[in-house]
Amino acid sequence: MASRWWFIAIVWNNIQSLHKYHLIPRGLRIKTPGKSHMATPPRGPISTTSQALVATSFMILAGAMFAFMHGTVRWLSFDLHPFLIAFFRNLFGFLVLIPLLIRGGMGRFKTTRMGLHTFRACVNSISMLTWFTALSLMPLADATALALTGPLFVTLGAILTFAERVRFWRWATLIVGAVGALMVIRPGFEAANIGALLTIAATATAAVSKLCAKSLTKTEDPATIAAYVQFLMTPITFFAALFYWQWPTIEQIIGLIVIGTLGSLAHLFTAKAYAIADLSFAEPISFTRMIWATAFGYIVFSEVPDFWTWAGAFTIVLATSIISYRERNQKS
């Protein structure tokens, strides 16, 4: 019991320390559709090197938050059903965003595409429910490695949905990424793991959600998209949690608040990194999630990933980085 309270205290203190950081550093040029604006710096514009350092810091911090969030999910899943954890993650995650929504007023909720918002929330809920269930069934580092295939599923979905032109390098990188996933799963050499299959399913459905978001950005404000998905997922996951309902203890509620807070802030820091730096620069840094997940898994669960998990994760990130780099060059 004492070790659990020690763990919660460490994570909670890390969250409190975030107040010391500015989400948008002064002097950074933020890229938004159709416009670019810059906060007034005290001494001229910030250098490209400084922008790269800030973006790197945001990605590393976001990776740590995701790893701690997923580790806390796995920790709580020993006593709470993953569906219940998913509901409270959305509930507390939405509460964290309320101050940002209040500043934007009711205009944040103006939309002409409610149907697509609802569909995306349903798909995202399925992804979260399967992902949290997977975390309860397999080592944290293994699940994190497989989840790195996300950009590959987005690329495949874009090919199928938007009829984008398929070049050789696209198929090649998708195959390389698939090989990386097989290194982690190792079918035929390891016993069948339902957690690995659920992780792949969660990552694939999350890619569908991202493609929906890509379509919504043509007519909707990003803040509106984020507000609707978080708002709608709360009742959807609540319905799923009802079948496994139990009232969490005070200790568990603190852990659930940590999950909701870390989840919202991690997505926010990732968005800030993508606004500052190109995707081709930021994407390889996502590999740091493996490092954080490994550290968390070793300290809390005594889990140590083997060579093939690391090799598979590296191969997957290599494939996603190549895709990001080629996409950027193609657009330029």
What's the pLDDT at 249? Answer: 93
Alpha carbon distance 151, 129 (integer Å)? 20
Which tokens is 23 given?
């989400």
What's the pLDDT at 166? Answer: 63
What's the pLDDT at 311? Answer: 86
pLDDT tens-digit profile of 188-230?
455 557 888 899 999 889 888 888 877 787 777 766 777 788 8
Report pTM.
0.74
Residues facing residue 36 across a β-bridge: 31
**DSSP letter string over 213-245?**
HHHHTTTS-HHHHHHHHHHHHHHHHHHHHHTT-
Contact 127, 295 (CB under 8 A): no
Using DSSP, state whether 1 is helix, strand or coil: coil
Alpha carbon distance 97, 112 (integer Å)? 22
Which tokens is 206 given?
């999350």
Alpha carbon distance 8, 161 (integer Å)? 43
What's the pLDDT at 245? Answer: 93
| Token pair 């997505």 in the structure block, residue | 267
Please provide the size of the chain in residues: 332
Tens of pLDDT along the chain (332 residues)?
544 544 445 444 544 444 444 443 433 333 444 444 433 344 444 456 677 778 778 888 888 888 899 999 999 999 999 999 999 998 888 887 777 667 766 666 777 788 888 998 999 999 999 999 999 998 888 888 888 887 777 777 777 776 666 677 777 877 887 888 778 777 645 555 788 889 999 988 988 888 887 778 777 776 677 778 888 899 999 999 999 999 999 999 999 999 988 887 887 777 777 677 665 566 667 778 888 888 888 888 888 888 888 888 888 888 877 776 666 666 55
Contact 38, 28 (CB under 8 A): yes
CA angle (56 as vertex; 94, 206 as ends), nearest 5: 45
* C-alpha torsion 173→178→179→181, nearest 10: 130
pLDDT tens-digit profile of 268-300?
777 777 677 665 566 667 778 888 888 888 888
Rounded to the nearest integer, the mean pLDDT of the chain is 76
Which tokens is 34 given?
């159709």
Pair type for strands 29-32 and 35-38: antiparallel
Alpha carbon distance 310, 294 (integer Å)? 10
Alpha carbon distance 139, 67 (integer Å)? 12
What's the pLDDT at 47? Answer: 56
